[in-house]
């Protein structure tokens, strides 16, 4: 499987981190794990479970621990800590950065970064961001739209009317996320979230017209980067012994990345207004959610 990673420079950009030490290889440093660590026990020398791939966070506890040490001891400890090959150190909560930290980070080419955010708040935000970037994803052939605040993944064989239905929904003011291939992953809250692949961002294939850029046609107002997928609609043609209309499939669900989602199957004829049926489903799902 292809390695998932994010460059540390993207984290600096995302969280607007102040850069204290930037090694020469800064632009090449990759983060490929979703977890981060409080330096804590690792800094104090208990490193039995130390994962050198993780970003190390220095909060109030770590800085106060270093403050109690002599300069010589502090430098020796930081040398030992940075020598392990960690990807970065981030100091939080307006804490002081000691000169020994700077010296050790320069010696072993470890980025030293700073944020004024409270430690717990920053860590939660960073973990969420890393999970979003590095979480396992799959590609699903379909169209993803958001209707009345509900993410709808439209599936079906080629030519069944997925893009035509999505285009009608967009004309009615709903949001477009992706066409043809949808990038789907599970977020930190175990929701299934869909987005686009970069090479097909804003693009839709319309039968008889070829590929169109929806941003050029409708502007940014109909576009979204991603959405939680609330339910799935599967379009089918020529199903014997089925009466037109929407109905839940026999199992009533579809499994994506070990999460079960509600699925509806539509039998499609050329004249059918599937977009309206999807709007009704989205409103019903929204109503059911508000009932709890």
State the residue for tokens 């409080």.
38
Q: Radius of gyration of the chain from Cα atoms?
A: 25
Tokens of 8: 């540390």
Q: Do 164 and 277 contact (CB within 8 A), yes or no?
A: no
Q: Is the pLDDT of residue 250 over 60?
A: no
Which of 2-11, 126-135, 226-235 is most confident?
A: 226-235
pLDDT digits (tens, 9 = 90+) for 3-32: 678 999 999 999 999 999 999 999 999 999
Question: d(Cα 191, Cα 194) in Å, to the nearest integer?
Answer: 10
Q: What is the mean pLDDT of residues 246-263?
A: 72
pLDDT digits (tens, 9 = 90+) for 180-217: 899 998 887 889 999 998 888 988 887 666 788 899 88
196 vs 292: which has the higher pLDDT? 196
112 vs 268: which has the higher pLDDT? 112
Superfamily of chain region 137-290:
P-loop containing nucleotide triphosphate hydrolases (3.40.50.300)
The pLDDT confidence band at residue 238, using thresholds 50, 70 and 90, is low
- Residue 102 CB burial class (10 angstroms; 0-12, 13-18, ≥19): middle
Those residues whose C-beta lies under 8 Å from the C-beta of residue 103, and which sit 6 or more positions away, are 75, 78
pTM: 0.67
* Per CATH, domain 6-134 is 3.40.1390.20: yes
Domain limits, the chain: 6-134, 137-290
**DSSP code for 272:** -
Per-residue pLDDT at 190: 86
The pLDDT confidence band at residue 44, using thresholds 50, 70 and 90, is confident
The pLDDT confidence band at residue 179, using thresholds 50, 70 and 90, is very high
Per-residue pLDDT at 247: 39
Q: What is the mean pLDDT of residues 142-149?
A: 96
159 vs 78: which has the higher pLDDT? 78
Question: d(Cα 84, Cα 105) in Å, to the nearest integer?
Answer: 11
The pLDDT confidence band at residue 274, using thresholds 50, 70 and 90, is confident
DSSP string, 131-186: HHHHS-EEEEESEEEEETTEEEEEEESTTSSHHHHHHHHHHTT-EEEESSEEEEEE
Per-residue pLDDT at 291: 56
Question: d(Cα 195, Cα 182) in Å, to the nearest integer?
Answer: 6
Output b/e per residue, 125-145; b: 16+ Cβ within 10 A.
Answer: ebeebbbbbbeebeebebbbb
């Amino acid at each position: 499987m292809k390695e998932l990673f994010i460059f540390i420079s993207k984290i600096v950009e995302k969280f607007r981190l102040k850069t204290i030490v930037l090694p020469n290889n800064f632009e090449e440093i990759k983060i490929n794990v979703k977890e981060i660590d409080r330096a804590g026990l690792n800094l104090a020398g208990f490193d039995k479970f130390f994962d050198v791939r993780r970003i190390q966070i220095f909060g109030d506890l770590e800085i106060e621990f270093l403050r109690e040490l002599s300069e010589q001891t502090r430098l020796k400890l930081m040398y030992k800590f940075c020598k392990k090959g960690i990807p970065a150190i981030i100091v939080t909560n307006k804490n002081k950065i000691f000169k020994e930290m700077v010296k050790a980070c320069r010696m072993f080419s470890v980025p030293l970064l700073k944020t004024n955010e409270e430690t717990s708040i920053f860590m939660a935000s960073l973990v969420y961001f890393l999970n979003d970037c590095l979480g396992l994803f799959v590609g699903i052939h379909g169209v993803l739209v958001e209707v009345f605040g509900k993410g709808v993944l439209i599936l079906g064989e080629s030519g069944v009317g997925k893009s035509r239905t999505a285009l009608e929904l967009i004309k009615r003011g709903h949001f477009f996320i992706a066409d043809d291939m949808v990038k789907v992953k599970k977020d930190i809250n175990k929701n299934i979230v869909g987005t686009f692949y970069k090479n097909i961002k804003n693009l839709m294939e319309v039968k008889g017209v070829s590929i169109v850029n929806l941003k050029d046609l409708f502007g940014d107002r109909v576009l979204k980067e991603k959405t939680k997928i609330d339910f799935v609609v599967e379009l089918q043609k020529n199903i014997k012994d089925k009466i037109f209309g929407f109905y839940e499939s026999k199992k009533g669900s579809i499994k994506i990345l070990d999460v079960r989602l509600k699925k509806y199957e539509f039998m499609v004829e050329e004249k059918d207004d599937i977009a309206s049926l999807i709007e009704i489903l989205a409103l019903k799902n929204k109503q059911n959610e508000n009932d709890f």
